[in-house]
């Protein structure tokens, strides 16, 4: 047991220098807060970005400071206990950083390569919409629905993650397109009718961004 604790602490401490240099910042949106109206209101976007996403960033940075201090003091128990907070806030930061770019006020279509993959794995783009929408609506409580790429088989798959669990560390899939179904993403506009929000969000999907993520993940 003593040897295990020493090895664990050594592993944790090896990342201490990285942690001391690592601080997250709130990314700017690639469009104005009102740009996604009428699908998503300016009020929702502004609160979602400047309050919710900002809170994940601030809490992640604060937790990393606590982790750094724990490592400096050799406090393994505290270092381990901070894991859930890092996962939640780090996941919230990662998920939203993808989500903002997955959306756009400009219409676009999947690239030829992505369209072929969608047809191969789902039958059609309409079928993908149906499957991903059903997954998003079916999330119990708060979470995300994702289109991801399996890094080995290179197949497209739909998956859901609870709360702010990040897709890749949770399922192994590379995230391409995410739908945020936390209530703060839609409640002020769509109330408790999540299916209406999920149906409308397809009008502002940035397929150019999804296509770039797909091409990168396929390399």
Instruction: Please give the angle made by the CA atoms of 145, 91 and 84, to the nearest 5 degrees.
Output: 120
Q: Was 52 annotated as part of a binding site?
A: no
Q: Was 184 annotated as part of a binding site?
A: yes
DSSP state of 152: T
Please compute, for residue 131, the number of CA atoms within 13 A of its CA located in the half-sphere on the CB side: 17
Cα–Cα distances in angstroms (integers) from residue 165 to residues 19, 84, 144, 149, 169, in the given order: 21, 10, 8, 17, 8
Please choose, from the candidates 113, 86, 102, the residue with its C-alpha nearest in 3D space to the C-alpha of residue 40.
Answer: 102
Please choose, from the candidates 24, 32, 33, the residue with its C-alpha nearest in 3D space to the C-alpha of residue 54.
Answer: 24
Report the distance separating Cα 9 and Cα 171, nearest Å: 27
Q: Was 93 annotated as part of a binding site?
A: no
Element (H, E) at 174: strand 174-180
Do 71 and 13 meet the contact criterion of CB atoms below 8 Å apart?
Answer: yes
Burial class from Cβ neighbours inside 10 Å (0-12, 13-18, 19+) for residue 1 reads: exposed
Q: Was 96 annotated as part of a binding site?
A: yes
Sheet of strand 143-149: strand arrangement = 156-162, 143-149, 174-180
Binding-site positions: 48, 96, 180, 184
Binding-site positions for Mn(2+): 48, 96, 180, 184
């Amino acid at each position: 047991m003593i040897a295990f604790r020493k090895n664990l602490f050594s592993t944790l401490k090896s990342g201490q220098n990285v942690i001391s240099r690592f601080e997250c910042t709130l990314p700017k949106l690639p469009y104005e807060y009102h740009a996604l109206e009428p699908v998503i209101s300016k009020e929702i976007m502004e609160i979602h970005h400047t309050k919710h996403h900002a809170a994940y960033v601030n809490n992640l940075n604060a937790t990393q400071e606590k982790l750094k201090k724990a490592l400096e003091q050799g406090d393994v128990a505290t270092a381990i206990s901070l894991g859930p907070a890092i996962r939640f806030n780090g996941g919230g930061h990662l998920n939203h950083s993808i989500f903002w770019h997955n959306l756009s006020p400009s219409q676009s279509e999947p690239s030829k390569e992505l369209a072929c993959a969608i047809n191969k794995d789902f039958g059609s783009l309409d079928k993908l919409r149906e499957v991903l929408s059903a997954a998003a609506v079916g999330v119990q409580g708060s979470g995300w629905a994702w289109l991801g790429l399996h890094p080995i088989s290179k197949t497209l798959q739909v998956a859901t993650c609870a709360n702010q669990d990040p897709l890749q560390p949770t399922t192994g899939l590379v995230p391409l397109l995410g739908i945020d179904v936390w209530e703060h993403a839609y409640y002020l506009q769509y109330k408790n009718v999540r299916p209406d929000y999920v149906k409308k969000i397809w009008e502002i999907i940035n397929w150019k961004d999804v296509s770039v993520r797909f091409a990168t993940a396929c390399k």
